[in-house]
Structure 1
């Protein structure tokens, strides 16, 4: 491991330790509770008719090794869900990105962290 990779890993460990919330990642009936930092990405997508549409996604940054579903490490898939609870309200997000943009990417050069793009699809209240 080189010095830059070591420093990147240290920073990712501190982010996970001090700047995350607990969310539930879901694919079908499989779920896993993970620590996630919340972010956003703004996409500018040409709609094919000369108009550029700006879309903002809510991003969840999670450690690659933490995304384990059905006993195996997985990568995000379109249609997966992220459930974020604040107080008694649960916000449900679907993994997706606008146009032909990728729905996730690695957030660091060493593939330790995933940046998962989502869109809010529902809110659940008691």
Structure 2
């Protein structure tokens, strides 16, 4: 588990996340199947608070994962019309959020 920042517009929250992955299969216009791997963040549903309210993930939100002076930015999304998140357990205590790496930022010289 590690701390990440979940961001939607100007609102953000620090939360603990377990990192995982999901493989998706998507057919192109020629019927060829492509495997796409998403980086997943598993978080407690109750921890996703933005502007004082519990929310659910939305496509386009960002998760920022910092390692020293490097921050990896992941966008909430899923390929082929799949939902970008799902509950990770039958009691809806945890969310599995699918993301794709969109950029890397560096602090300092």
What is the TM-score with the length of structure 1 in the denominator?
A: 0.83
Q: Do residues 96 (structure 1) and 96 (structure 2) align?
A: no
Q: How much does 1:118 deviate? A: 0.2
**What are structure 1's unaligned runs of at least 5 residues?**
1-19
Secondary structure of 2:46's aligned partner: helix
Give the number of aligned pairs: 107
Partners in 1 of 2:94 and 2:2 — Cα distance? 15
Q: How much does 1:62 deviate? A: 0.3
Secondary structure of 1:65's aligned partner: helix
Secondary structure of 2:74's aligned partner: strand
Q: Indicate the residue corresponding to 1:118 in structure 2.
A: 99
Aligned pairs (5 A) from 1:46-65: 46-65=27-46
Aligned pairs (5 A) from 1:70-109: 70-109=51-90
Q: Do residues 41 (structure 1) and 25 (structure 2) align?
A: no
State the Cα deviation string for residues 25-67 of structure 1 (Å, max 9, x = none). 0000000000000000000111242111110000000000000
Secondary structure of 1:110's aligned partner: coil
Q: Which has the higher helix share?
A: 1
Q: Which has the higher strand share?
A: 2
Look at both structures and tell me which one has the larger radius of gyration over its CA atoms.
Answer: 1
State the Cα deviation string for residues 72-100 of structure 1 (Å, max 9, x = none). 00000000000000111100000000111
Q: Indicate the residue corresponding to 1:13 in structure 2.
A: none
Secondary structure of 1:55's aligned partner: strand
